[in-house]
Each structure stands twice: as structure tokens, then as C-alpha cells.
Amino acid sequence: MAEPIKKDEAAVDVTAVEAAIERKVDRGEPILQVRNLVKHFPLTQGILFKKQVGAVKAVDGVSFDLHQGETLGIVGESGCGKSTVAKLLMLLETATAGEVFYKGQDITKLSGRALKAVRRNIQMVFQDPYTSLNPRMTVGDIIGEPFDIHPEVAPKGDRRRKVQELLDVVGLNPEYINRYPHQFSGGQRQRIGIARGLALNPEIIICDEPVSALDVSVQAQVINLMGKLQDEFNLSYIFIAHDLSIVRHISDRVGVMYLGKMAEIGTDEQIYEHPTHPYTQALLSAVPVPDPEARANRERIILTGDVPSPANPPSGCSFRTRCWKAQEKCSQEAPVLAVPERFKGQDTPAAHSSACHFAEEKQIVPVH
């Protein structure tokens, strides 16, 4: 007897969620709000009784907002958890703790029909266009596959036309619909990946290193395409990359991650021109500048050592082991991501969120 009631409850819930998702968000309003997102991968020992002996803290309390129509860049070294954040937002991994609000709905708690509806609106473009496309499927099948799961977007008879439209949108010849991925170059394949991401008219696209596998001359083409599509379809991007100059070009706001935590977040100008976190400063100064004149007169902060293991992060501030400013306080107290005390209430570009006890500006040659 209890079952039908449960079902009813669920049904009400789903319609409420669906209604919330249908709602249009104004430009500049937050569309995605991430709060204290945590993902720990367990480390186990033993064969039969897998005893948990620790955890890899891949993402350890990350919070940020994504506004409608903007591009949020996320940068950081390999192993800092930026790709895990992407997977958590796509719900490809279940979060250990924390919430992801999409238009006010916590999507980490959803399941069934409501989850399916949310997934339609958040799509992903992957890094490697060579392995993210099935070699045995034609381009038409790859781009049309999302329609099998969400038939309401394109009725059966309409699909071929729809796929050809998408090919045209991303700058490929619509006649290529019956070709296989191996017949395309890297840049063209990435366009196919983007077309697949666009198929369901999503509102958010998460791009995990979309151009790092491409040649320099082709990178610019793909970046331009993504900019054009953003204007055309009013998309919000989360753009994950390690190339700081490309991130600066495309992003409205930038977040810097280190060892599963957000070290600093702000507008592109705040981060690139007025970084206050020592890690951001080191990262920016390490980027080679394509100008030989700058070679002699730029100060470079060369960090020593490697990123510590996320299975056993340092106490307090996770950056302290490589930081030249580290003091006693850094090992005892983890700094919170907030506008530093000294810049509070001031109208300077340095007044943005930075997770450092000793946040201050430092003159460095900016990345172009």
C-alpha cells in the first residue's frame, strides 16, 4: 500500500523539478551554484574484506557560481581535481558531499526522470577527439545518438536533417554525415564532439581541455567556433584548461585550483593582472611568454618540488610546502576562500576571493 503513495510523491517532485528547469534564467544570473563539493576516492587494502585505509581527496570543498551566458575558466596543474569537478557536475561521479544547484535544484539528489531532464541541459566536450568518438559509428550516428535518449528534442523522421544542421553549425560539410571519425583530422573531430554536445540544445557546456590535443593553427579555429556558438545559442561554458593564455582569451571569470581546492577566483582581469594568491603568481610567472624581448626583464617564480599527493595533503594550507611565504600559521590553519581582510571594502581589483593568509599583490609580467 505504501508504494503508490511513494510514487505519487515522486511524481510531484519530478514535475516541480521539471518546472524549475523549464524556467528561463536571465543573463548574468547564476545558473549553476556549486557549494562545498567534495569527492574522495577510497583507498582500500585486502582482497576479500576491502578495508578502507585512506582516501584520495581529489576535490575537497569547492564552491563557485556559473552565471548565465558567461564562461568560467578553471585552471590548475594536472592532478588538482579540475577534471573531477567536471565529472561531478556532469553527474558521472557521485559526490561524497556538497551540493550542485542547477536553477535552484540540487541535482546531486535527483534520480530518474528529473535527473534525465537536467542532464539534457548540461553537456560536455571532451579533451581527446581521438578516443571520445566511437570509431565504429558514423558521424551521423554519433551526433544523433543523444536523440535516442531524448526523443522529444527531435522526432525520428527529423533527425537526419537535424544532424546535418548541426554539422553546418560547427562548420563541417553536411554531406559528411555518413563518414567515420578516422576520415577527419583532429580539429574536425573536435567539431564533431562539439556538435554532439550541442545536439540537445543544452544551456551549459562543460569543456574539459577542448583544444589541448590540437595543433596551434587549428586551436584558434576551434576557440573561435566556441565563441561564436556561445553568442548564437546563449550558452554558459565551464572551460577547463591548463593553457593560461587561451583561458584568459575565452573566460569572463577564472578559478585557480590547487590540490582539490579553489585557491583564487575572480574576473579574468583580477586573476591575471592582480593575483593575490602566491600559487597563482607562480603559475602566471612560469608561463613562457611568446616575446623574446621579455626574456631578460621578467621575474620568474620557480616553484620547487612537485604537487603533494592528494591522498596525504599537507595540514593547513595545501600550498604551504611549495610556498615561499609559508609561516607557522599556514601549517595550522587552512585559509578560507574569501576576499582578504586587507582588501575588504576597498575598490581595487585585488579585492577578490583568495585563499591565502598572506594574500598580497605582487608585480609580475602578465600572460598575454
> Which residues are near other proteins by CB under 8 A?
77-78, 185, 187-188, 215-221, 223-224, 227, 242, 244-246, 248-249, 268, 282-283, 286-295, 300, 302-306, 366, 368
Closer to other proteins at the Cβ: 15 or 309? 309
Closer to other proteins at the Cβ: 109 or 300? 300
Cβ-in-10-Å burial (0-12, 13-18, 19+) of 302 comes to exposed
Amino acid occupying residue 351: A
Minimum Å distance from CB 321 to other proteins? 13
Minimum Å distance from CB 294 to other proteins? 8
Minimum Å distance from CB 158 to other proteins? 31
Closer to other proteins at the Cβ: 12 or 294? 294
Closer to other proteins at the Cβ: 168 or 215? 215
Minimum Å distance from CB 106 to other proteins? 34
Minimum Å distance from CB 77 to other proteins? 4
Minimum Å distance from CB 96 to other proteins? 26
Minimum Å distance from CB 354 to other proteins? 18
d(CA 109, CA 95): 10
Closer to other proteins at the Cβ: 96 or 230? 230
Closer to other proteins at the Cβ: 148 or 306? 306
Closer to other proteins at the Cβ: 50 or 298? 298
Closer to other proteins at the Cβ: 47 or 216? 216
Please give the span between the terminal C-alpha atoms of the chain, in angstroms, as a whole number. 66
SS (H, E, C) the chain: CHHHHHHHHHHHHHHHHHHHHHCCCCCCCEEEEEEEEEEEEEEEECCCCCEEEEEEEEEEEEEEEEECCCEEEEECCCCCCHHHHHHHHCCCCCCCEEEEEECCEEHHHCCHHHHHHHHHHEEEECCCCCCCCCCCCCHHHHHHHHHHHCCCCCCHHHHHHHHHHHHHHCCCCHHHHHCCHHHCCHHHHHHHHHHHHHCCCCCEEEEECCCCCCCHHHHHHHHHHHHHHHHHHCCEEEEECCCHHHHHHHCCEEEEEECCEEEEEEEHHHHHHCCCCHHHHHHHHHCCCCCHHHHCCCCCCCCCCCCCCCCCCCCCCCCHHHCCCCCHHHHHCCCCCECCHHHCCCCCCCCCCECCCCCCCCCCCCCC
Minimum Å distance from CB 266 to other proteins? 15
Closer to other proteins at the Cβ: 51 or 368? 368
Minimum Å distance from CB 284 to other proteins? 9
